[in-house]
Homo-oligomer: A and B are copies of this chain.
Amino acid sequence: MLRIRIALAQMNPTVGDLEGNCDSVVAFARSANEAGAHMAVFPEMVVTGYSVEDLALRNDFVSASITATHRLAARLAAEGLGEMPSVVGFLSRRAGGRPGPGAPAGAPQNSLAVLHRGAVRLVAAKHHLPNYGVFDEFRYFVPGDALPVLRLHGADIAFAICEDLWQDGGPVSAVREAGAGMLITLNGSPYERHKDDVRLELCGRRARETGAAVGYVNMTGGQDELVFEGDSLIVDANGELLARAPQFEEALLVTDVELPEGPPVAELPGTAAGRPVVRHVIPTAPPARYEAGAPVLTPRPDPVDDTGEVYQALVTGVRDHVRKNGFSSVLVDVSGGVDSALTAAIAADAVGAENVHALLTPGETTTLEETADAEDAVKRGGLVRRLQPVAALADAFRTEIDAAPGALPALEDRVRGGIAAAIAAEEGHLMLATADKSQLAMGLCGHYGDPNGAFAPLKDCWASLVRELARWRNAAAARDGEPAPVPEGCIDRPPRRSAPDGPPLPEQRLLDALLESYIGTDKGVRALIADGFPPDLVRRVVRLVDRAEHIRRAYPPGPKITRRNLGRDRRLPITSRWS
């Protein structure tokens, strides 16, 4: 057996920032080299960032990715890192791709490249293109068919990209036949609650199926509605976990694995499971300097509990949306409700309390408790307080359009949204929208005015989860001896906004369970009633959800934390009579 030291570089690239991403690759490669690694492996599409969406169809963007990858190879060598192969994900194109109706323009491919001694030595593309949930990869890419195998100082290591690991009968099935002792996949795998458990189980299963160790390197950070959690890991050929990186932060996971020595390359097959095997050989004897130094293993830190994990995902999403879009401060309308108090707390954890401008907008329809809790949230959190009462303006509006007095709460919300947007534009803050998933599902946030904002941290959190997150964050503060950021009073106060018409909506947990069944599992009215939900409630809630599609379409993105968010995961017509 050979002892090979693998470095998995859990990196946070930015879409479109090819230069910045390559700078980070070089920095990680340097650390890997200093740690004595024989190879560094980077996430899917690390050169371009992920997901680039329709940028993949632009000729100049694909060319820039290919050029950047070749330059990266040269630069790694120029900086003394060329002896250690670096494996990166990048956007490439298939040679001779024939244009046709519906074929992605320019035949772009989601590819990986082995960089060694100043050049690109091996290129192969992702086989399985996910086209479900948030993914549209049939739109952007053409599939690859070859299995790349690197002979690294005597051991054979195969590579694949993300979805290829999840599909039965994919390139994974060819690993054993190709004679590889290890499989490493490059991933851009979005966060979902509990996905880390599935991921570890899958890697273990694939290891046992293929008889090969499995390495999994994932990106981290936020990109629009996606959060990448990291959680890179390595299991041995028995599926036992060797090492695991933290969630939601950049990390270099350096691990020694024992791999079988491969036979002479000439004896190895040129195809495996019907696919061509493409190989590159790195000289057998490892360079002397790799033999020095003790193994540097980064064990996974104590995992946080499930609620804390969600909280971290939200903070990551907000931080990267603000930072990567060139902002440094945010504006939140703090109403005295739990949604806006939690949004402000997340924002403070993401960009610093001194960069969170909390707008207090008391109006004629605001209660004393709400006003007190809003002030309290600002004080506890150390946020920047901005007072902008809305009663006078809302009343001027009401008089102007001669609206009924009952329209006042909605008008106040419109004025709030208008003031917040104007201040954000005037001063250059990124504005956060505060509605939670339950509100947005039923269309109980306004259509214009209060849904204003560029990012919506709680968009994928049911109202009952919002309360759980608020309690979790307060408890964490208590453990650290800091003030709890979310006023206790607002956590248990029922939501101010109720459904139009009809009796009050039931208790939030029942409502959220129904919403989750309808939205999360696509159950129809009859099945929901069969599950025991009250028939009248089912019909009413389904109708509310179905009639609010136009509101969701205009709503800003927010971090996905569930299997089905109210964004790319769920695409429904606005115009529909189905209910």
A residues engaging B (CB < 8 A)?
14-18, 20, 49, 51-55, 57-61, 100-105, 128, 130-132, 136, 138-139, 163, 166-168, 222-224, 320-321, 324-325, 388, 392-393, 396-397, 400-401, 403-404, 407, 410-411, 414-415, 417-419, 421-423, 425-426, 447-449, 452, 454, 522-527, 550, 553-557, 570-579
Contact = CB atoms under 8 A, between A and B. Distances in A.
A101 B59 CA distance: 31
B52 A573 contact: yes
Contacts of A53: 571-573
18 contacts: A16-B573, A52-B573, A52-B576, A53-B573, A54-B571, A55-B572, A58-B522, A103-B132, A131-B139, A136-B136, A139-B571, A320-B575, A325-B575, A401-B426, A407-B426, A414-B421, A421-B449, A554-B556
B54 A572 contact: yes
A20 B410 contact: no
Contacts of A138: 131, 138
Given A400-B419, A522-B105, A578-B61, A573 B392 contact: no
A544 to B, nearest CB: 15
A16 B550 contact: no
Given A401-B423, A414-B418, 19 more contacts: A14-B577, A15-B577, A17-B577, A18-B578, A59-B524, A60-B526, A100-B167, A102-B131, A132-B139, A224-B574, A388-B400, A396-B396, A403-B426, A410-B422, A418-B448, A421-B447, A421-B448, A554-B554, A554-B555
A550 B526 CA distance: 38
A209 to B, nearest CB: 15
A557 B102 CA distance: 23
A355 to B, nearest CB: 18
A418 B397 contact: yes
A105 B564 CA distance: 14
A524 B403 contact: no
A131 B138 CA distance: 7
A196 to B, nearest CB: 17
A410 B418 CA distance: 11
Contacts of A20: 577
Contacts of A570: 54
Nearest to A325: B575
Contacts of A404: 426
Copies assembled: 2
Given A415-B418, A550-B454, A16 B577 contact: yes
A103 B447 CA distance: 34
A455 to B, nearest CB: 9
A36 to B, nearest CB: 34
Contacts of A573: 15-16, 51-53, 55, 223-224
Contacts of A575: 14-15, 222-224, 320-321, 324-325
Given A388-B401, A554-B556, A448 B417 contact: yes
Nearest to A403: B426
A522 B59 contact: yes
Nearest to A570: B54
B403 A393 contact: no
A346 B59 CA distance: 38
A401 B523 CA distance: 47
Contacts of A325: 574-575
**Best-surrounded residue of A59, A132, A223 (most CB of chain B within 10 A):** A132
B60 A527 contact: yes
A134 to B, nearest CB: 11
B426 A422 contact: no
**Best-surrounded residue of A61, A105, A415, A419 (most CB of chain B within 10 A):** A415
A128 B101 CA distance: 11
Contacts of A103: 132
A576 B14 CA distance: 7
A413 to B, nearest CB: 10
A45 B447 CA distance: 31
B448 A419 contact: no
B60 A524 contact: yes
Contacts of A104: 132
A100 B397 CA distance: 54
Contacts of A572: 53-55
